Chain A
Amino acid sequence: DTGVSQDPRHKITKRGQNVTFRCDPISEHNRLYWYRQTLGQGPEFLTYFQNEAQLEKSRLLSDRFSAERPKGSFSTLEIQRTEQGDSAMYLCASSLTGVNTEAFFGQGTRLTVV
């Protein structure tokens, strides 16, 4: 399977704990995106990378969120001191660099903070 892979698929954590998610993009894609989706809403942009450089981060993103893409391949998204409001589907996507390119999404990681 050469699609975008996310791990884990589901995560239940207690409030205040830290969680980390992993995303493996399509191998030839140099752009990688993180989005968050809650019920009844569309994906909300969090951040994106071109190779290992983090090019944009949403102003709405709390300092508790951090993302890395150390070697320009896989990426991790960490949430520190989780809150119940962090419960959502976290989606990773990747794309080629270009003016008009579409992103390919993974199946997402469902986070539940109890």
Chain B
Amino acid sequence: KQEVTQIPAALSVPEGENLVLNCSFTDSAIYNLQWFRQDPGKGLTSLLLIQSSQREQTSGRLNASLDKSSGRSTLYIAASQPGDSATYLCAVNFGNEKLTFGTGTRLTIIP
């Protein structure tokens, strides 16, 4: 069964610190992986997309890595800010035309 897991479910970090969010998936034969951000009561904002052939993608203070062999992806956020507080969702396309989502990590940046 193709599953995506995100641990921890919640994370609190002081402002300014660097942090890593984790995502693991059960099937290494993935097509691509997307990281999203969801603010309370809002929709999903796509942060980074990593194709199966890529090892990492960067956008500003965000860096996402992909290790298919171990079934893991990480989202690294540098110099965290209170505005980074949100739920971060990892979603995997296992090549079956749909995204399978993790349960998310709720991130709180403490000023």
Does B bind A?
no
- A residues contacting B by CB (< 8 A) are none
- What is the interface of chain B, defined by CB distance below 8 A to chain A? none
